[in-house]
Amino acid sequence: MYKVVVVEDERLVRQGIVMETEWSLMDCVVVGEADNGEDGYEIIKKYSPDLVITDIKMPKMTGLEMMERLRDEDIMPYVIFLTAYDDFVYAQQAIRLNTVDYLLKPFKDGQLEETIRTLLEKTQKRREAEKEKNPELQLKKGDKSKYIEDAIAYIDDNYANPELSVKAVAEHLRISEGHLSHLFRKETNFTVMAYVTNCRIRAAKNLLKDYTYKVYEVAEMVGYRDITYFGMIFKKHVEVTPSEYQDRHR
C-alpha cells in the first residue's frame, strides 16, 4: 500500500482528510499526521511516505520550507499542497518540489480523492512503461527514489540528444553529478551513461529493423554523431555490426 502523511494546522481540515477519505479503496494508508511543519518534517523522515498532503502556511515551518528541507536530505515523496487562494503564487513554487498538484481550500468533496487517484494512475503507468521499455532495468524492491524515477524518465525522453550527459541529467534534477551517479548505481546497478547507452542501442535496433533508414541515419537519430563509434558500441552490445543486424531483419 502507498504510505501517506498529512500535515495541516487546521484540526478540522486535518481530521476530515484523515478520517473521511476512503484510503483503503485507493490502496493507501495514513501512517502519520502533524499540525505544524517541524513535526511534519520529523514524521516524514521517520515513515518515508510515498505521498505527503500538506498545507503551505503553518506554524514553526511552512509546507514549502518543510519540503525544501526534506529535498536537501534526498527525501522526495510526491506532494499535494493545500492552499488558500491568496497563497496561489506560493503554490507555483511546488513545481520544483516534485508536487503532484495543489488544491485550493476549501476543496470540494471528492476532489482530493480524484487528485490522489490521478497520481496513482500516473505512477503505475510510468512503472509499467519503464518495465516495458527497459526489461533489464529493475529497481530494487522497496526503492522509490523520486530522483531516480525522474532521471530515468528524463533519459528516456532525451537519449537522442548527443549532448546528453551526467551533468545534464543532474542539472535537470538540481542535484550534484556525484550524488546522482551514486544514487543511480545504488538503485539500478547501472551507471548513468551505461543506461543512456542501453536506451540508444535499444532504439537503434528498432530503427534498423525498418530498413528504409541507413545506418548513419540511425546513428544520428539515437544520439551518435560519429558513425564509427556508433558501430563499435553497437557491436559490443549486440555482437554484430549495425549493417549485419539490419540485413538479418530484411
Confidence of residue 115 (pLDDT cuts 50, 70, 90): confident
Confidence of residue 140 (pLDDT cuts 50, 70, 90): very low
Beta bridge partners of 79: 52, 99
User: Which distant-in-sequence residues (6+ apart) come within 8 Å of 250 by Cβ?
Assistant: 211
Q: Phi, psi (5° rounding) for residue 217? A: -70, -40
The answer to whether residues 233 and 197 touch, using CB atoms and an 8 Å cutoff, is: yes
Residue 240 has pLDDT above 80, yes or no: yes
User: Which distant-in-sequence residues (6+ apart) come within 8 Å of 23 by Cβ?
Assistant: 4, 29, 30
Highest mean pLDDT among 52-61, 67-76, 90-99: 52-61
Q: How far is CA 71 from CA 68, 85, 98, 105, 141, in A?
A: 5, 25, 9, 25, 22
Whose grid coordinates read 498532503?
A: 53
Is this structure's pTM higher than 0.75?
A: no
**Within 10 A of 132 (CB to CB), how many other CB atoms are there?**
8
Q: pLDDT of 17-44, one tens digit each?
A: 999 888 888 888 999 999 999 999 999 9
Instruction: Give the pLDDT of residue 178.
Output: 87
Q: Which of 92, 122, 33 is nearest to 102 (CA)?
A: 92
Q: pLDDT of 70-80, one tens digit each?
A: 877 767 778 88
Choose the weakest-confidence range: 21-35, 59-73, 141-155, 160-174. 141-155
User: Using H for helix, E for strand and C for coil, what is the string for 146-176?
Assistant: HHHHHHHHHHHHHCCCCCCCHHHHHHHHCCC
Helix or strand or coil: residue 74? Answer: coil
The answer to whether residues 103 and 82 touch, using CB atoms and an 8 Å cutoff, is: yes
Q: How high does pLDDT run on average in the chain? A: 82
CA atoms of 117 and 247, how far apart (whole Å): 47
Instruction: Give the pLDDT of residue 87.
Output: 57
- Is residue 79 within a helix (H) or strand (E), and if so which, with residue range? strand 78-83
Q: Phi, psi (5° rounding) for residue 39? A: -65, -40
Q: What is the dihedral of CA 173, 178, 181, 187, to 10 degrees?
A: -90
Residue 205 has pLDDT above 80, yes or no: yes
